[in-house]
Amino acid sequence: MDHFLYRDGVLHAEDVAIPEIAAAVGTPFYVYSTATLERHFKLFDDALEGLDHLVCFAIKSNSNLAVLRVLGNLGAGMDVVSGGEYLRAKAAGVPGERIVFSGVGKTRDEIRMVLQGGIRQFNVESEPELRAISEIASELGVSAPIALRVNPDVDAKTHEKIATGKSENKFGIPIAKARAVYAEAAALPGIAVVGVDVHIGSQLTELEPFVAAFTKVRELTLALRADGHDIMRLDLGGGLGIPYERSNFAPPLPVEYAGVIKSVLGDLGCEIEIEPGRLISGNAGIMVSSVIYLKQGEGRDFLILDAAMNDLVRPSMYGAHHDIIPVIEPAPGTEAQPFDIVGPVCETGDTFAKARAMTPVGPGDLVAFRSAGAYGAVMASEYNSRPLIPEVLVNGDQFAVIRARPSFEEMLGRDSIPEWL
């Protein structure tokens, strides 16, 4: 469920009409619903009731400070994968003890920064990283809490570019090596072993891969405890999918996902951490664009929008689907016709959909891309010297710009020409 609904024939974000926002900020733009963000976080938090737990939002899905503040105010932790994301979490008011630092390539500068600023734990992805953390923590005279990310070699049955739990993926330590690496960690200075971490991928639409991965984590936890390690925390990652094609299927619900956690791991007495991103923010946002032209081609018609692949790269990068709907609701019985929906960027890959059935729209009309709150604005670029598009947050009948569109002067001002030119 989200809070983007037609009212009197006009698409609204909560109690704000989308055309009102478009008139104020111009198109294209992203808009997020506070109510949806809050609802989706609470679905996870409530589903884990009865277990000691922390729901850490995966910042990589949407890193806007206002979005992070909404979730942080609810008690969310944050899962970060860079020093910049760590600083965003702190700037949004989330304390270090609720921040988990993941990622395969943590630099020494990043490790030092978060050890000085406070961190809940490092999810360690390799032996060299473990040794670097030990060295830096020892220099600073602190103890670094760590969980080793294990790679369980489980097929998440998701897109190959977002699968992370198979043996050929770059993530984690092979689970067969885990006991040896934990033994090394326990012997290193400045290291405090606190748990086990696993994350098998994103946009999972079945529960079976979670069952397989969590079962392996259970077996490893019991073995590590037998080896003398005090495993008190299990970080289970995120990955639960959302229905990008709403008429197609319904992925598992957070309560069903939590049921798997409780049945497989609930008797271990561990604190549970999960790191959802997409399911919290994905359906909490839409991207709104204007039609520039209708173009008749050879055997196909094109709907040319003012949004492009640099604004929403998922269709070009992953072949991803987003439902695209008119902001003004079509009259009942209005016939749809197929369009290739494209942007103005000088790339054939700047295509959002091919032969997509759309009810008639014309130049200047608004369309909305559903399920664009995750991996949308956060992956945007200024390719073709197109300014980053605004982000807007709605709360009831209020809205505010939470990232402004830069002017061309601001864009050009970031470059500098050497004196010799």
Tens-digit pLDDT profile for residues 97-108: 999 999 999 999
Q: What is the pLDDT of residue 47?
A: 97
Question: Quick one: CA torsion of 260, 86, 32, 56, rounded to 10 degrees?
Answer: 20
Tens-digit pLDDT profile for residues 233-261: 999 999 888 888 776 667 889 999 999 99
The token duo for 194 is: 């606190």
| CB of 316 closer than 8 Å to CB of 351 | yes
Q: What is the pLDDT of residue 163?
A: 46
Q: What is the pLDDT of residue 168?
A: 53
221 φ, ψ to 5°? -60, -45
Q: Output the CA–CA distances (angstroms, integers) from residue 228 to 193, 236, 270, in the order listed.
A: 11, 22, 15
Q: What is the pLDDT of residue 297?
A: 84
- Count the helix, strand and coil residues of the chain and give each as a percent rounded to the nearest 5: 35, 25, 40
Q: Which residue has the tokens 């009831």?
A: 396
Q: How far is it, in rounded angstroms, from Cα 402 to Cα 24?
A: 13
Whole-structure pTM value: 0.94
Q: How far is it, in rounded angstroms, from Cα 248 to Cα 260?
A: 24
Mark residue 31 as left, alpha or beta (left: phi above 0; alpha: psi -120 to 50; beta: remaining): beta
Q: How far is it, in rounded angstroms, from Cα 65 to Cα 60?
A: 12
For residues 43-57, average pLDDT: 97
- 252 CB neighbour count, 10 Å cutoff: 17
151 φ, ψ to 5°? -100, 110
- Beta strand 398-403 pairing with 391-395: antiparallel
- 346 is a catalytic site residue: yes
- Residue among 346, 364, 409, 420 flagged as catalytic: 346
Higher model confidence: residue 130 or residue 171? 130
Domains belonging to the chain, first-starting first, are 4-31+282-413 (2.40.37.10), 103-274 (3.20.20.10)
Mean pLDDT score across all residues of the chain: 94
Q: What is the pLDDT of residue 164?
A: 47
Least confident of 72-86, 237-251, 303-317, 346-360: 237-251
Least confident of 96-110, 123-137, 191-205, 364-378: 191-205
Q: What is the pLDDT of residue 155?
A: 63
Tens-digit pLDDT profile for residues 135-193: 999 999 999 999 999 998 876 554 454 444 444 555 689 999 999 999 999 999 999 99
pLDDT over 90 at 49, yes or no: yes
Query: In the beta sheet, which residues pair with residue 290?
Result: 366
Q: How far is it, in rounded angstroms, from Cα 99 to Cα 93?
A: 11
Higher model confidence: residue 299 or residue 4? 4
Q: What is the pLDDT of residue 165?
A: 43
The token duo for 334 is: 């209005």
Counting DSSP H helices and E strands in the chain, the numbers are 12, 21
How does residue 200 score in pLDDT terms, banded at 50, 70 and 90?
confident
Please report, as a single letter, which amino acid is at residue 230: D
Q: What is the pLDDT of residue 159?
A: 45
